[in-house]
Amino acid sequence: MLNLRREFSIVLVSLVMFFIMGVVAHAQTVRQIVMIDPAHGGTDTGVIGVDKVAEKDLTLAIALAVKKELSGDPRFEIVLTREADKTISLEERRNLVLKTKPALFLSLHVNAGFGRNASGFELYYPGFKNVDLPQSPAKQGVTDLKTRHLNETVKLARLVRQNLDILFPRKGRGLREADVPQLEGLNTPALIVEIGFATNPDEKRKLTNGKTQTEIARALARSIKTYF
Ligand SMILES: [Zn+2]
């Protein structure tokens, strides 16, 4: 009797172990898809800064560096909206998001204007302004679903701000709401990062420097890792 009970225990423990191993293996194989969008490209140069540096080239260089930073991490699959200097419309970017269904969408831009002294990164997200507030408590669940990805975006924005502040001390210009046409109607957590000003000679130097590009990519990669 005693032996039977012992054998039963061994079988039970084995089953539990097998189950745990299965769960762990599953977690390791399911990768989070992170979509990085180097804005502009091809005939769309984006802003032109000091020494005629084009936004499209800076966003691509930094996006490729982010991909490199995260490619060794088995938790992520990194998809770029473009990996070369080619023209992609907002419609095409939207179709890519629909097809890929990323867990996170990060669009990279470079700023310009407001004189040569304007500096610092800016963060934009689709914002809560287009979300209908619930008319009745019964509709609260629907609103929660509509706002969940926005709350997630705010969480990511905080991390990006912390990590970019190291590179551009006290120069962050906050989190603002903006329309993101390529994501309209989609519930994807999405953040637009205007990394710095190409029209500011000092920031242009940083944005075109390979070493600083790697540091910016590391700051963004660190934010993504902490977010998940
Ligand atoms: Zn842009």
What average pLDDT score do residues 195-211 get? 94
Instruction: Give me the residues paired with residue 105 across strands.
Output: 35, 190
Q: Looking at the predicted structure, is the pLDDT value of residue 27 above 70?
A: no
The count of other CB atoms within 10 Å of the CB of residue 98 is 13
**What's the CA-to-centroid distance between 72 and ligand 1, angstroms?**
28
> Amino acid identity, residue 137?
P
Pick the CATH number of 31-227 from 2.60.40.1930, 2.30.110.10, 3.30.420.40, 3.40.630.40: 3.40.630.40
Tokens 């130097």 correspond to what residue?
Answer: 205
Report CA dihedral (120, 126, 128, 134) to the nearest 10 degrees.
-170
**Residue 87, pLDDT above cutoff 70:** yes
> How are strands ordered across the β-sheet holding 190-197?
76-80, 32-38, 104-111, 190-197, 122-125, 175-177
State whether residue 196 is helix, strand or coil.
Answer: strand
CA distance 108 to 227: 17
Q: How many Å lie between the centroid of ligand 1 and the Cα of residue 213?
A: 17
Task: Over range 30-40, report the average pLDDT.
Answer: 95
Residues bordering ligand 1, an ion, CB closer than 5 Å: 39, 46, 109
Average pLDDT for the chain: 87
The partner residues of 194 in beta bridges, in order of sequence, read 109, 122
Q: What is residue 185's predicted lDDT score, i.e. its pLDDT? A: 80
Cβ 182 vs Cβ 105: under 8 Å: no
Strands 32-38 and 104-111: parallel
Selection from 91, 85, 124, 86 nearest residue 108 by Cα? 124
CA of 192 to the centre of ligand 1 (A): 9
- When comparing pLDDT for 18 and 184, which is higher? 184
